[in-house]
Amino acid sequence: MNIKEKTVVFPYSAQFAPILRHREFLNDYEVINVVSPRGWQLSGNDACIVDGSESMGIIVSDDFEEALNLGDTVLFIEWPEIYDIYDLVKNKIRQAITSGKNIVCAFEIDHVFKKEIIRMCDEKGISFKYFGSGRTFYDSNNINIERETVYELNTPVVFVLGVSENTNKFELQLALRESFIKKGYKICQIGTRSYCDLLGFHSFPEFMYNCSIHESKKIVLFNHYVKKLEIVEKPDIIIIGIPGAIMPFNKKFTNKFGILAYEISSAVTPDIAILSVLFAEYSQEFFKRLFDTIKYKFGYEIDCFNIANTIFEQRDSDQENTMVFTTLSSQYITRAKKRFKLPGGIALFNVLNPGEAQNLHEYIVDKLANNECSEII
């Protein structure tokens, strides 16, 4: 039996909440404490406070020193971009090393500080694992594609997409992982974050972010990457999370124009596509337009929607020049989503509602089963 390291998480925020909810996937780490900066005022509250979900049975602390005494390892995790706490986190890392704790970094750190951590950990005889971006160096001159052919996949593929960030995409990915594994399926999964390896599945490949690789090459590379995984892992199902957003939100918040989503959609065609949207009072026509937009832009249909428990704040976003959101409770979404009418009987889910992850699983399995009724050989 694998002995897990007793692990403290810092800084705890909504970014880590899906992982905490599905912490059984952290093969090597047992989360014993989640700590947030004092000023975030999360201390003493159930961990669900960060994302409006159901109780997780873990209380957030703001006492980093006390938490260090309890654990073997500190997992430093990415935090919402709106908080400027890089220097604070660096000091906490130094403090953790001085206390003799193993270090796991799951956010991007600068080269100079990384060298400092390595040196300090070596001196202390403790381990340092890095799961941030920039781990893998790709020399575009060495990437040789003889033919720009894309291959068909023989395994059902599920896409998880979002209209923007903060649409519960990672929760959807982990909920699907949990439900399929529980039912005995073998999954090959590519997640939207750079540290999915911590959870036992593939992080989003870094070559997709590499500026020196031509965009058309990236499409081919991604297709080949997934095809290779299919051959090697022989999964029953492939789940792919699409980082970022599918399209610009508006002219001010362009979400990198949904370029990644387009490239991935050109590389791989899904059998099931789940699109997560922010909360608003949508009309049926809205869902129809979104459905048609995806269909004509990416070439496949959305099979179901997920409604996130976050609202986009236009006025605050305009003032602060960054997308600003307000988090609602998942119970509010459960009540409110009854008002929505979707076209053509397309389903709408709220993955933060405990029962709905299972409903989503069954919906996908039914759809896949119907797709296999008659098959071209």
Partner 1 sequence: MLDGKPFIHLFKTPGGHYLYDVNRNTILTITKEVYSLLEEIMESKVWKEKKRTSLIINNCTLKKLIEEGFLLSSHISEMIHPVNDTLEYYINQKIRLLTLQITQQCNLRCNYCIYSGNYVNRSHTNLSMNFATAKKGIDFLLEHSRERNFIGIGFYGGEPLLEFELVKQCIEYAEEKSEGRKIIFTMTSNGTLINKEIIRFLASHDVGLLISLDGPKNVHDKNRKYAFSHCGTFDKIMENLKIISTYFPKYAKKISFSIVMDPTVDFQCVNDFFLDYETFQTFGPLANATDFMDRSLREDHTLELGYNEQLNNAYNYEMFKTYLSKIGRLQEKFVSPITSLSFSKFNIIKKSLQIQTKVLEKCHHGGPCIPGIDRLFMNIDGAFYPCERVSEVSQVMRIGDVEKGFDIEKIRNILNIGKITEEKCKNCWAVRFCYLCAGFADNIDNFSSDLKGAKCDAVRRMVDRNFKEYCALREFGYEFFEQYEKLVDIV
Question: Can you give the binding site for partner 1, defined by CB under 8 A?
Answer: 11, 36-42, 49, 62, 80, 82-85, 88, 252, 283, 311, 318, 320, 325-329, 332, 336
Q: Which two tokens stand for residue 79?
A: 């935090």
Measured from the CB atom, the residue of 216 and 326 that comes closer to partner 1 is: 326
Measured from the CB atom, the residue of 62 and 171 that comes closer to partner 1 is: 62
Measured from the CB atom, the residue of 33 and 265 that comes closer to partner 1 is: 33
CA angle 174, 179, 185 (to 5 degrees): 110
Rounded to a whole number of angstroms, the minimum distance from the CB of residue 250 to partner 1 is: 9
Rounded to a whole number of angstroms, the minimum distance from the CB of residue 328 to partner 1 is: 5
Rounded to a whole number of angstroms, the minimum distance from the CB of residue 82 to partner 1 is: 4
**Which residue bears the tokens 């099931």?**
272
Measured from the CB atom, the residue of 24 and 81 that comes closer to partner 1 is: 81
CA distance 223 to 240: 12
CA distance 43 to 65: 14
Measured from the CB atom, the residue of 328 and 368 that comes closer to partner 1 is: 328
Rounded to a whole number of angstroms, the minimum distance from the CB of residue 251 to partner 1 is: 8
**How many Cβ atoms sit within 10 Å of the Cβ of residue 55?**
9
Rounded to a whole number of angstroms, the minimum distance from the CB of residue 48 to partner 1 is: 13
Measured from the CB atom, the residue of 44 and 299 that comes closer to partner 1 is: 44
Rounded to a whole number of angstroms, the minimum distance from the CB of residue 94 to partner 1 is: 16
Rounded to a whole number of angstroms, the minimum distance from the CB of residue 40 to partner 1 is: 5
Rounded to a whole number of angstroms, the minimum distance from the CB of residue 327 to partner 1 is: 6
Measured from the CB atom, the residue of 212 and 283 that comes closer to partner 1 is: 283
Find all residues with CB under 8 Å of 320, minimum gap 6, and list them.
Answer: none
Task: Answer positive or negative: Cα dihedral of 5, 27, 350, 167.
Answer: positive
Measured from the CB atom, the residue of 42 and 117 that comes closer to partner 1 is: 42
Rounded to a whole number of angstroms, the minimum distance from the CB of residue 42 to partner 1 is: 7
**Which residue bears the tokens 């976003």?**
317
Measured from the CB atom, the residue of 111 and 251 that comes closer to partner 1 is: 251
